[in-house]
Structure 1
Amino acid sequence: MTATVAPPRAAAGPAPVLHGYRFELVKLVSQWRIRVLLGACWIAPALFVAAVSLQSSLPADTVFGRLMHATGWAGSLVVLGFSCLWALPLLTALVAGDAFAVEDRLGTWRHLLVAVRSPRRIFVTKALASVTVLLLLVAGLAVSSIAGGMAVVGNRPLVGLDGHLLAPADAAATALLAWACVLAPTLAFAAVGLLGSVALGRSPMGLLMPALLAFVLQVAQLLPLPVAVRVALPSHAFLAWRGLFTSPAQTGPVLIGLAVSLVWAVTATALAYWLFLRRDFTDVTYDGSGRRVLVAGVVPLVGLVVLTAVVVAAVTPAGGSGIERAKLQDSLATAYAHLYRLQSQQLGRPDVTEAQLRASASCDKGGSRVFDEGPGNDWRCFVTWRLPDVDAAGTAIYQLDVTPDGRYVADGDGPKQVNGYFQVRTPTGDAPNPLWQFDGNVDLLASTREG
C-alpha cells in the first residue's frame, strides 16, 4: 500500500485591484455623510443660482456676480468662485482626509490586510476611491449650477473680464474649461488629505489638514507676496481660471497653477504611500506621530514651495507683486473700449471699433508720494478716448480696488452720462450701465509693456 502525498498549496495572492477599488468605493458611498455631500453638490447649486438670479440684489462683490441677471453662465462661475474658496478644500477633507483614519477608529486594519493581502493595493484602492468620489462631487457642483442658470436666466452671451463679449457657445466652452482647471488643485488638496490621514491615524487633525492648509493659503494670498511665491502656492490654481475670460486668454498663470498643483498632488501622494508602507499594523493603538508629520509632510511641502518659487522667478519676467501701473492701464483701457462698444449698442448709437476709439488710461496710486505698484483701493485712473470725426477727446474717471491676486473692480466716478449709474435697455430687459462698475483681471506674470 502506497501513501499519497498532497502537493503543497500555493500561497494566496493579493486581491485584484479592481475588486479592492469597488469595495472601497462602496464603503465610501455607504457612509451617510458622503451621501449627504453628493445630494448637496448635485442639488444645492441649482437652487442657489436660481434663487439669487431671481432677486433684485446680486452678489456684486463676487467675480461675475453682477452678471447673474444677464446670463445663466454667470451663476455657475459664482458657484465656482465660492467652491474654490471653501467648498472644494472642505470636500477633500471630508473624503480623502478620512480615507485611512476610519480604519484606525474602527480597528479594522487586520481584517483588511487579511482580505486584500497587499498594503500597496490597499493604498491604491483607497486613493482611487477617494478621487472618484471627489470627481463626482465636483461634477455635481458644475452640472447643478449650470442647470440652475440655464433654467432661470438662459443661454446668453457673457461679458468677459476684459469687457469683450463671449457668444453663448464660447461662454459654455470657457466655463466648462474653468471647472476642469480646478480639478488639479482639488487633487493636490486631496493628496494632502491622504497624507494627513496616513500620518496622524485616528487623530482628527488628519481630517482637518486640507481645510487647515486652505485657510493658511487663503491668508497668504491676501498678503502682498512676490508674484513668484504667490503662483508657487497650490491654491493659486483656484484663482487662475479667471484669466481664461480675457482675450487673449491669460494662460501663463493657468498653466503654472496646473503644473504646481499636479506636482503637489504627486509629491503628497508619494509621501503618504511611503509612510503607509512603513507602518506597523500590529500596533492597534497607533495614533500617528507629530514628528513624522513634520519630517515627512510639512518640511518636504514647504521645500517644494521654495523650489517652485525659485523656478517661477527664473523663467517668468514678472517681479514684485505683479501689479504694475503699465499693466493696469492696459487692462483698464482694453476693458473700457470693449464696454463702450457694448454701451453704444444698448443705447442705439452708431457702432465704433476699439481701434477707432483709441482708448488709453492713466493711473495713479495714492498720490505722488506712493509708488504706483501693488494692490490697494486707492488707485485713481483717467480713461480717454476719441470718436470718429470728433476733435475733442472724451474723459472718464474710475476708482479702482485692486486685490493682491490681480482682480480689480472699476467704479465709475464721472461724468455721469458716461460711467455713472443709469439703466439701459437690453434685449433681456433693463440693466445697469455697463461702464458704471465692472470687473477686470491683471496678468501677474506678464511683462510690462512700455509706451
Structure 2
Amino acid sequence: MTATVEAAPVAAVPVTRGYRFELVKLVSQWRIRLLVLACWLAPAVFVAAVSQQSDLPTDTLFGRWMNITGWAGPLVMLGFAGVYALPLLTSVVAGDVFAAEDRLGTWRHLLVAVRSHRRIFVSKALASLTVILVLVAGMAVSSAVGGVLAVGGQPLVGLDGHVIAPADAAGLVLLAWICVLAPTLALAGIGLLGSVALGRSPMGLLLPAVVALAMGVAQMLPLPVAVRLALPSYGFIAWEGLFTSPAQAGPLVIGIVVSLLWAVLATTLAYLLFVRRDFTNLSTDGTSRRALTLGALPLAGLLVVTIGFVAVATPSTGSGIDQDKVQQSVATAFAHLYRLQTRQLHRPDVTEEQLATTVACTKGDGLVEPEGPGNDWRCVATWHLPGTTAAGQAIYQLDVASDGQYVADGDGPKEVNGYFQVRTPDGDQPNPLWQFDGHIELLSKG
C-alpha cells in the first residue's frame, strides 16, 4: 500500500520583494543608469553655462532672467522638460517595462517565480514610477543648484511683473516641478498601457512620446478652452499661473485633475489587459485588435467627457483670449515693471495707484476682431506721474500664444522701452520694460 502526499501550495512572492527585484532590473540597464546620470548632472551644467552668456534664450519663458537670478534656470529647464525630456523619459522607462519581457521571452520564468499576475503588474508599475520620480527630481534639483551657484538666489520677476522674493521663488519653483508630476504620471500610465497592449512592437516604446507630441501640437492650435484644458498635456504649462499675483489656480487645478484621471484610467486599462492575457500561447504578445480597442476607446471617452465637464463648469468660451483680458494683463505687468525700472534709475518710488496705468489694444491694425492668439496685437500703455499733468505713453507689439502666454516687445519711446538696456547710476542694466513675458488666464472674465 502506497501513501500519497499532497504538495503544499507555493505562496506567491510578496509585492515588496517583487518591487525590489523589478527595481534592480531597471537600474541594472545601462540606458537607465545613463539617464539617471544625465538628469542629475546635465541640467546644472546647462543652466550654469547659459546663465553666464550674454546671449540668453529670450524666446523661452523666464529665459531673459537667467543671468539675473538663479531661480529662472530651473523654470527654463521645466519648460524644456515638459515638451521633450519627460515624454522621452516615460517612453524609455514605462513604455518598455512589460515589452522587455516579450522581447526576451522571460514571461514563463517570471510567472513561475512570482505566481501572481497582479503582483507582477504592481511591482513593475511601482518600479517604473520610482525611476521616473528619481529622474524628475534629478532635473529639478540639478537645474536649481546650477542656477543658484552660477548667478545667486536673487528675486525673480513674475509673469505679471511683480517681484518674487528669493524664498518665495524657491517655493514656487519646487511647487511648479511637483505640479508637472501629474501629466508625467499620465504619460507613464499611457506607457504602461502601450507596453502591455503592443508587446514587443516598438510602438509600445514610442507611445508616450507620440501621444505627447500630438497633444503638444494640439496645444499650439486655436482650440476652445474646454478642449485645451481637457488634454493632460495642459498640465505641462499650467504651472505658469503660479507666477502671477494672485496665482491663476483654476487652470492649474483642472490640469492636475485631468492628468491624474488619465493616469488612473490608463494604468487600470493596462492592468486589466495584463491579467487577462494568455501567457500559454507564445505567439501572442498582446497586440490583438481587442487589446488596442480596449486601450484606446476608454481614453477617447474620457477626453469627450472631460471636454463636456470643463465646458459646463468654466465661464470662458472660444479661445479664452479677448481684448479686455489682454489690456488688463499688460496694464498690470507694465505698472509693476515701471516701478522696477524706477528703482533701477534711483527715482522716487511710485505706486500702481499713482501710475493709474491703462492700456488700449487692437489686433490686426483694427481690421479684425480683438480676440484670439496671434502676433498682430498692438498695445499702447498710458500712465501718469505725481506732480505732472502730461501722461506718458509706450507702445508694445504683442505675440500672444494659444495657451495665453505672450511676449510684449517694446516699440518706443527709447527712454522707456525702446532699448534693451537703461543707463543707471550703477551702470548699464537690462531694461525690464523693453521686453517682458505675460500670461492671460483663459478662464478668467475680462
Amino acid at match of 2:228: R
The Cα of 1:391 is off from its aligned counterpart by 1.4
- The correspondence for 2:128, drawn from 101, 116, 130, is 130
Aligned to 1:299: 297
Aligned to 1:432: 430
The Cα of 1:39 is off from its aligned counterpart by 0.4
Aligned to 2:397: 399
Equivalenced residue count is 446
Instruction: Give TM-score scaled by structure 2 length.
Output: 0.98
Q: Does 1:17 align with 2:42?
A: no
5 Å matches for 1:164-179? 164-179=162-177
- Partners of 1:411 and 1:437 within 8 A in 2: yes
Q: Does 1:336 align with 2:342?
A: no
Shift of the 180–10 alpha-carbon distance from structure 1 to 2, 3 Å rule, reads same
Indicate the larger mover: 365-374 or 190-199. Answer: 365-374
| Cα separation, 2, equivalents of 1:409 and 1:221 | 17
5 Å matches for 1:261-300? 261-289=259-287, 291-300=289-298
Q: Give ranges in structure 2 of 5+ residues lacking alignment.
A: none
- Partners of 2:345 and 2:425 within 8 A in 1: no
Instruction: Give TM-score scaled by structure 1 length.
Output: 0.97
Aligned to 2:380: 382
- The correspondence for 2:225, drawn from 227, 230, 239, is 227
Shift of the 115–303 alpha-carbon distance from structure 1 to 2, 3 Å rule, reads same
Amino acid at match of 2:215: L
Measured on the aligned residues, the alpha-carbon RMSD in Å equals 1.5
Aligned to 2:73: 75
| Cα separation, 1, equivalents of 2:344 and 2:270 | 57
5 Å matches for 1:311-350? 311-350=309-348
Shift of the 252–288 alpha-carbon distance from structure 1 to 2, 3 Å rule, reads same
The Cα of 1:389 is off from its aligned counterpart by 1.6
* SS of structure 1 residue aligned to 2:382: strand
Aligned to 2:211: 213
The Cα of 1:367 is off from its aligned counterpart by 2.5
| Cα separation, 1, equivalents of 2:71 and 2:55 | 18
- The correspondence for 2:308, drawn from 301, 310, 324, is 310
- Partners of 2:158 and 2:244 within 8 A in 1: yes
Aligned to 1:54: 52
Aligned to 1:197: 195
The Cα of 1:427 is off from its aligned counterpart by 11
Aligned to 1:36: 34
The Cα of 1:424 is off from its aligned counterpart by 3.4
| Cα separation, 2, equivalents of 1:346 and 1:192 | 50
* SS of structure 1 residue aligned to 2:399: strand
5 Å matches for 1:244-263? 244-263=242-261
Q: Give ranges in structure 1 of 5+ residues lacking alignment.
A: none
5 Å matches for 1:92-131? 92-131=90-129
* Cα distance per residue 1:200-241 (max 9 Å; x no partner): 000000000000001101111111000000000000000000
* SS of structure 2 residue aligned to 1:247: coil
Aligned to 2:237: 239
| Cα separation, 2, equivalents of 1:100 and 1:256 | 31
* SS of structure 2 residue aligned to 1:284: coil
- Partners of 1:104 and 1:286 within 8 A in 2: no
Shift of the 351–272 alpha-carbon distance from structure 1 to 2, 3 Å rule, reads same
Aligned to 1:188: 186
| Cα separation, 1, equivalents of 2:414 and 2:151 | 29
